[in-house]
């Protein structure tokens, strides 16, 4: 039963475990959009392995690709030595790249996590530029290793770990709905980019030329916050004009989730380096760094590791990429995302406890606030993490799995598989509406 397995987990696993605290079940099986727990309850999965499961659970094309590896007795582990499975994966991936990168792209296979690939990207730009500092954004998330934690905006986990890489500067991320400087109106992102430009050009800012600027185009863990498209274009212009490599962290946004294969395509920009993980392994652990070969100054062995490109993950990843492309799942994600966003905005318009509703594609967040408190100078109410958590629990009771995130833990996050249908969006919305009503009773 759920109870038996949860009891064992609690006894044996470290206190650092996170998801089971909010989603207290043991999973027996999973198919498509649905998870079934040990007690036979079925849930709609709008967490999708934290954005990993682009095609949902056990999609037939993914299962078939993995079965073929087993059936043909292909090697399961080859370090970074190549195989037909690997070259096929790279073919599929490179064929998905924007035209500007077609002939110039290089790929580095990394340890299986997003965090490891971000570490590799940081090493790559530091080696290429001979510089040290990294400019990153308030509220951003890039992983939980020493280096990636240092460049992530969330203070609570890192305040207990001394000695993270010190040379990191945090820049204001442009909230579409709220200016990082607390001003009212739509000029928030212009203030942010003007500030960044000034910071880079004024020697009195005390900032040495950085090895890179790294950012998410939609902050995921930070609370599903899409950066304005013009701001992304400004960041590309500012970095390009000054010869600063731009790294885009596509770990959560990549492979169609935001409505484009890669989220930077919304802005018509191409970064110097970008990082993929989560969906790229078709449910299995895989991560890569893609970069323009002009930046390559790495010596052999510059980023090593035992597990660099699991063969099964490459087979599953290639099948996922092909399916996303053949079925235009990026466009489907955009349509379903807009539909979900409109439905959530409709709920929000009747419920003062729901603040900003925002997203890009199937990366959506609903800010939960306390309208009984005074508004701040920019017109927003304080975040209400307790109510957000209650809404999540009420959703869970009704068979919908969602995550809560954001800087105050008050953003309900929707991150479903890209294969979600309109009927399933309706199902999600019905449960969410009931859960909000129940939480306010
Ligand atoms: N970057 C982003 C944008 C992420 O969302 C995450 C994971 N949530 C990571 C990096 C780190 O990936 P991993 O957990 O696989 O190390």
Distance 410 CA to ligand 1 centre (A): 20
CA distance 219 to 231: 14
Helix axes of 311-326 and 84-96: crossing angle, nearest 10 degrees: 30
Residue 103 pLDDT: 83
**SS3 label, residue 383:** strand
pLDDT above 90 for 158: no
Residues with CB under 6 A from ligand 1: 50, 113-115, 118, 141-143, 216, 220-221, 249, 251-252, 277
Among 25, 207, 218, 229, residue whose Cα is nearest residue 131: 207
Distance 437 CA to ligand 1 centre (A): 33
**What digits encode the pLDDT tens for the residues 431-440?**
999 999 999 9
Sequence-separated (6 or more) residues with CB below 8 Å from residue 58: 30, 31, 32, 283
- Rounded average pLDDT over 358-366: 97
pLDDT above 70 for 186: no
Question: What's the mean pLDDT when you consider all of the chain?
Answer: 94
Distance 261 CA to ligand 1 centre (A): 18
ipTM of the complex: 0.99
Among 399, 409, 414, 416, residue whose Cα is nearest residue 37: 399
Among 383, 334, 428, residue whose Cα is nearest residue 34: 428
More confident of the two residues 102 and 196: 196
pLDDT above 90 for 169: yes
Mutation to probe ligand 1, out of 253, 278, 288, 406 (largest number of atoms < 8 A from CB): 278
**Domain 74-326: top CATH class:** alpha beta
**What digits encode the pLDDT tens for the residues 73-90?**
999 999 999 999 999 999
**CA of 253, closest atom in ligand 1:** 3
Outline which parts of the chain fall under CATH 3.40.640.10.
74-326
**What digits encode the pLDDT tens for the residues 413-432?**
999 999 999 999 999 999 99
Distance 250 CA to ligand 1 centre (A): 9
Pick the residue whose CA is nearest to atom 7 on ligand 1.
Answer: 143
- Rounded average pLDDT over 9-17: 94
According to the CATH classification, is domain 2-58+329-440 in 3.90.1150.10?
A: yes
Pick the residue whose CA is nearest to atom 10 on ligand 1.
Answer: 142
Distance 216 CA to ligand 1 centre (A): 11
Residue 375 pLDDT: 87
- Rounded average pLDDT over 204-233: 95
Token pair for residue 90?
Answer: 């790279």
| CA 323, chain centre distance (Å) | 20
Residue 178 pLDDT: 60
Outline which parts of the chain fall under CATH 3.90.1150.10.
2-58+329-440
């Amino acid at each position: 039963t759920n109870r038996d397995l949860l009891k064992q987990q609690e006894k044996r696993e470290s206190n650092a475990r996170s998801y089971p605290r909010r989603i207290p079940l043991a999973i027996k099986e999973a198919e498509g959009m649905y998870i079934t727990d040990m007690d036979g309850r079925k849930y709609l999965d709008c967490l999708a392995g934290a954005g990993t499961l682009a095609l949902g659970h056990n999609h037939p094309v993914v299962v078939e690709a993995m079965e073929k590896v087993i059936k043909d007795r292909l090697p399961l582990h080859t370090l970074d030595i190549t195989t037909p499975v690997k070259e096929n994966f790279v073919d599929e991936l490179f064929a998905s790249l924007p035209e500007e990168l077609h002939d110039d792209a290089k790929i580095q296979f990394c340890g299986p996590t997003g965090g490891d690939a971000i570490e590799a990207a940081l090493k790559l730009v530091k080696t290429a530029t001979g510089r040290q500092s990294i400019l990153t954004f308030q509220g951003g998330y890039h992983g939980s290793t020493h280096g990636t934690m240092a460049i992530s905006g969330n203070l609570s986990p890192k305040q207990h770990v001394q000695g993270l890489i010190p040379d990191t500067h945090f820049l204001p991320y442009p909230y579409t709905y709220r200016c990082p400087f607390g001003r009212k109106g739509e000029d928030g992102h212009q203030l942010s980019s003007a500030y960044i430009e000034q910071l880079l050009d004024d020697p009195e800012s005390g900032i040495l030329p950085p090895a890179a600027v790294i950012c998410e185009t939609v902050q995921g863990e930070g609370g599903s916050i899409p950066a304005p498209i013009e701001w992304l274009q400004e960041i590309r212009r500012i970095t390009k004009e000054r010869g600063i490599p731009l790294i885009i962290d596509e770990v959560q946004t990549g492979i169609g989730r935001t409505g484009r294969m890669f989220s930077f395509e919304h802005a018509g920009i191409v970064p110097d380096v970008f990082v993929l993980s989560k969906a790229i392994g078709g449910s299995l652990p895989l991560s890569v760094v893609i970069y323009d070969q002009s930046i390559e100054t790495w010596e052999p062995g510059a980023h090593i590791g035992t597990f660099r490109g699991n063969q099964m993950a490459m087979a599953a990843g290639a099948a996922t990429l092909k399916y996303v492309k053949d079925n235009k799942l990026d466009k489907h994600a955009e349509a379903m995302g807009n539909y979900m966003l409109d439905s959530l905005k409709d709920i929000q318009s009747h419920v003062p406890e729901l603040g900003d509703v925002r997203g890009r594609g199937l990366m959506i967040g609903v800010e939960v606030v306390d309208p009984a408190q005074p508004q701040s100078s920019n017109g927003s109410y304080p975040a209400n993490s307790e109510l957000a958590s209650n809404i999540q629990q009420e959703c869970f009771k009704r068979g919908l799995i969602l995550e809560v995130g954001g800087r105050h833990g008050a953003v309900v996050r929707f991150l479903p598989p890209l294969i979600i249908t309109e009927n399933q969006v309706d199902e999600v919305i019905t449960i969410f509406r009931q859960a909000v009503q129940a939480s306010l009773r």
